[in-house]
């Protein structure tokens, strides 16, 4: 709606999907969670199903905009809008989610890795709409999430989501490091993830991983922050998140 | 240098009837028919503060403009017109929304509560009293939205902490008070209303599905 208010978009036809209540759901099934396109941010924030299976989503939801926007804004809307600084696209991308798109001819599932093409640009065809988003469960994994924004709920300057799985020796056997606000789409710090795999989290390694992640950003400068400041934020955020995981390996284990 | 059609018409052609307002597309003072738009009109029926209204509206009309222009309920203020300032906050089916980010046609069949519904018999609601007593407003422009957000908070959380109050009004901008007295007002309202929440009951009509 803000884009329409600003006359940046002037659609000839608008279809209101708010009455399709069957698109408002959160369901856990077979190791993943399915979130209907019409699910409000407020529902994501308070969902017991998500708190059990993918708690990073309700945790991140509290940083999305403000109460009124969370009461009205939808998960499918956020994913389709593909704002590179938005929380939900970043988490769906980082965790390797899947987007179901549908048009009058049928539906298809698009991996998140192929969905976000550029800023505000997705793999959706003009005839398609998002009906459902699937996110893998985080059960048995440790995670940490933090954003930096000039004001609470404002556009994120930089955000980082980390999830990993440790073996019994404390070595990392699965890792995801997602970054947003620092490129045209959400990004994964894959070189930093590689560095983490097979290793124990310790201070020296954390510093090296954070350096690598910062080098993997595609940060740009704008009126809010310079590219170098954003890279510095990423370096700090990755290290902060990894220290959280190192310090509280049990706390966020579900 | 790009020239706007509005400037061309006004400055070069001397046709100053097309007014130039905010020059970023929000005010529509310079709107003129191009022959391309096929504006549709829709009849909508909705309940506002307990009264039912039926009106015919343009598909493009914002709910905030509808409430003010078509229903004459000017207590709902319009500030930024793109969802940042929160002055136009109302209750839509039991939850607060920014009415400038909603089209009037989307509210067909809905139940709305606006600031006018807070004091239906002209007697201040305890939250309004608290704002008065604690100097929770200066110019008053943001106040209707602030009050709506305060009601929404206190309905869900009758005894909020300062941090919870500040989070709850995060979507409402005030350029006068520095928020200190607003937070104080809401805290005081919470104490006033302890155990008397039936006074508001704004969200009783909620028919939103919950997940």
pLDDT band at B28 (very low <50, low <70, confident <90, very high): low
CB within 8 A of B50, min separation 6: which ones? B117, B120
Angle A124-A125-A126 from CA coordinates, rounded to 5°: 115
Q: Do A68 and B97 touch (CB under 8 A)?
A: yes
pLDDT (0 to 100) of residue B153: 97
Binned at pLDDT 50, 70 and 90, residue A213 comes out as very high
| Alpha-carbon gap, residue A23 to A26, rounded angstroms | 9
Quick one: closest CA in A to B206, which residue? Answer: A71
Beta bridge partners of B52: B47
Contact B210 A43 (CB under 8 A): yes
Question: With bands split at pLDDT 50, 70 and 90, how would you rate the model's confidence at A2?
Answer: confident
Largest interatomic CA distance in chain B:
66
Q: Which residues of A touch B21 (CB under 8 A)?
A: none
The answer on pLDDT for B131 being more than 70 is yes
In this predicted complex, what is the ipTM? 0.91
User: Is it the case that residue B1 has pLDDT exceeding 90?
Assistant: no
Whether residue B166 is predicted with pLDDT greater than 60 in this model: the reply is yes
Determine the pLDDT at residue B194.
82
Show Cβ contacts of residue A13 under 8 Å, excluding neighbours closer than 6 positions: none
- For residue A204, give the 3-state DSSP assignment: helix
Write the DSSP string, A44-65.
HHH-HHHHHH-THHHHHHTTSS
Given a cut of 90, is residue A253 above it in pLDDT? Answer: no
What pLDDT is recorded for position A152? Answer: 87
Show residues of chain B in contact with A14, CB under 8 Å: 59, 103
A246 pLDDT higher than 50: yes
> Which residue in chain A is spatially nearest to B59 when comparing CA positions?
A14
Angle at A33 between CA A27 and CA A39, to 5 degrees: 60
Report d(CA B132, CA B127) in Å as an integer: 9
Range A126-130 average pLDDT: 96
Q: How confident is the model at residue B193 (pLDDT cuts 50, 70, 90)?
A: confident
The pLDDT value recorded for residue B12 is 61
pLDDT band at B169 (very low <50, low <70, confident <90, very high): very high
Nearest to A152 among B25, B83, B170 (CB): B170
pTM, 2 dp: 0.88
Contact A67 B171 (CB under 8 A): yes
Say whether pLDDT at B150 is over 90: yes
Residue A250: what pLDDT? 52
Q: What is the full DSSP assignment across chain B?
A: ----HHHIIIIIS--TTS---SSSSSS-TT----S-----EEEEEEEETTEEEEEEEETT-BHHHIIIIIT--TTS--SSSSSSS-TTEEEETTEEEEGGGSBGGGGTT-EEE-GGGGSTTSPPPHHHHHHHHTT--SS-SSHHHHHHHHHHHHHH-SS--HHHHHHHTTT---SSS-SHHHHHHHHHHHHHTTT-GGGT-GGGG------
CA distance B104 to A249: 50
Q: If DSSP codes are grouped into helix, strand and coil, which group holds residue A22?
A: helix
Confidence at residue B122, expressed as pLDDT on a 0 to 100 scale: 87
Among A9-18, A123-132, B48-57, B136-145, which stretch is predicted with the lowest mean pLDDT? A9-18
Other beta carbons less than 10 A from residue B91's beta carbon: 26
- Residue A77's contacts (CB-CB under 8 Å, 6 or more residues apart) are A37
Residues of chain B contacting residue A133, judged by C-beta atoms under 8 Å apart: none
Indicate if the pLDDT at residue B171 is higher than 70: yes
pLDDT at site A156: 96
Write out pLDDT tens, residues A135-170.
999 999 999 999 999 988 899 999 999 999 999 999
pLDDT at residue B199 above 80? no
Interchain CB distance below 8 Å, B83 and A24: no
Is residue A77's pLDDT more than 70? yes
A68/B96 Cβ within 8 A:
yes
Q: Say what the pLDDT of residue B19 is.
A: 59
Q: Which residue has the tokens 């209707």?
A: B144
CA A192 – CA A179 distance, rounded (Å): 11
Nearest Cα to Cα of residue A238 among A138, A159, A181, A172: A159
Describe the strand order of the beta sheet including B95-98 as a list of residue ranges: B51-58, B41-48, B111-113, B89-92, B95-98
| Mean pLDDT in residue range A3-23 | 92
CB contact under 8 A, A42 and B95: yes
Using CA coordinates, name the residue in chain A closest to B172.
Answer: A66
What confidence score (pLDDT) does residue B195 get?
60
Residue A18: list chain B partners with CB under 8 A: 106
Contact B102 A72 (CB under 8 A): yes
CB contact under 8 A, A71 and B167: no
Option in A6, A47, A69 nearest B211 (CB): A47
> Does residue A136 contact residue A236 with C-beta atoms inside 8 Å?
no
Among candidate residues A31, A47, A51, the one with its CA nearest the CA of residue A39: A47
Q: Has residue A115 got a pLDDT over 90?
A: yes
**Which of A46, A47, A68 shows the shortest C-beta gap to B86?**
A68
């Amino acid at each position: 709606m803000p884009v329409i208010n600003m006359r940046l978009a002037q659609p000839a036809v608008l279809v209101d999907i708010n009455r399709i209540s069957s698109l408002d759901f959160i369901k856990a099934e077979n190791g993943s969670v399915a979130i209907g396109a019409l699910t409000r941010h407020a529902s994501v924030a308070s969902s017991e199903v998500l708190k059990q299976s993918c708690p990073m989503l309700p945790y991140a939801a509290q940083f999305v905009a403000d109460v009124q926007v969370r009461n009205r804004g939808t998960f499918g809307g956020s994913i389709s809008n593909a704002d590179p600084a938005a929380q939900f696209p970043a988490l769906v991308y980082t965790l390797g989610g899947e987007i179901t798109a549908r048009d009058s001819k049928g539906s298809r599932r698009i991996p998140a890795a192929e969905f976000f093409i550029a800023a505000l640009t997705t793999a959706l065809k003009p005839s398609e709409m998002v009906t459902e988003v699937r996110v893998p469960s985080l059960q048995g994994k440790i995670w940490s999430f933090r954003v930096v924004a000039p004001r609470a709920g404002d556009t994120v300057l930089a955000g980082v989501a980390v999830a990993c799985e440790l073996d019994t020796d404390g070595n990392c056997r699965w890792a995801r490091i997602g970054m947003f606000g620092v490129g045209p789409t959400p990004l994964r710090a894959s070189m930093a993830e590689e560095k983490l795999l097979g290793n124990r989290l310790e201070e020296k390694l954390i510093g090296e991983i954070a350096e690598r992640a910062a080098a993997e950003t595609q940060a740009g400068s704008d009126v809010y922050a310079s590219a170098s400041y954003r890279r510095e934020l990423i370096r700090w955020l990755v290290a902060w998140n990894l220290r959280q995981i190192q310090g509280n390996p049990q706390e966020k284990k579900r | 240098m790009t020239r706007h059609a509005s400037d061309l018409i006004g400055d070069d052609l001397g046709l100053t009837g097309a007014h130039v307002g905010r020059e970023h597309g929000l005010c529509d003072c310079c709107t003129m028919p191009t022959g391309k738009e096929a504006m549709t009109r829709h009849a909508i029926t909705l309940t506002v503060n307990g009264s039912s209204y039926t009106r015919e509206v343009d598909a493009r009309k914002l709910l905030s403009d509808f409430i003010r222009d078509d229903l004459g309920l000017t207590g709902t203020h319009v500030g930024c017109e793109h969802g940042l300032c929160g002055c136009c906050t109302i209750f839509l089916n039991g939850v607060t929304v920014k009415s400038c980010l909603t089209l009037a046609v989307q509210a067909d069949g809905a139940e709305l509560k606006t600031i006018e519904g807070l004091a239906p018999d002209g007697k201040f609601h305890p939250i309004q009293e608290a704002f008065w007593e604690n100097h929770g407003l200066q110019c008053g422009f943001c106040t209707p939205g602030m009050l709506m957000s305060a009601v929404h908070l206190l309905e869900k959380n009758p005894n909020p902490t300062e941090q919870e109050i500040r989070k709850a009004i995060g979507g409402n901008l005030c350029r006068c008070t520095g928020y200190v007295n607003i937070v104080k007002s809401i805290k005081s309202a919470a104490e006033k209303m302890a155990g008397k929440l039936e006074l508001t009951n704004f969200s009783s009509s909620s028919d939103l599905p919950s997940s």
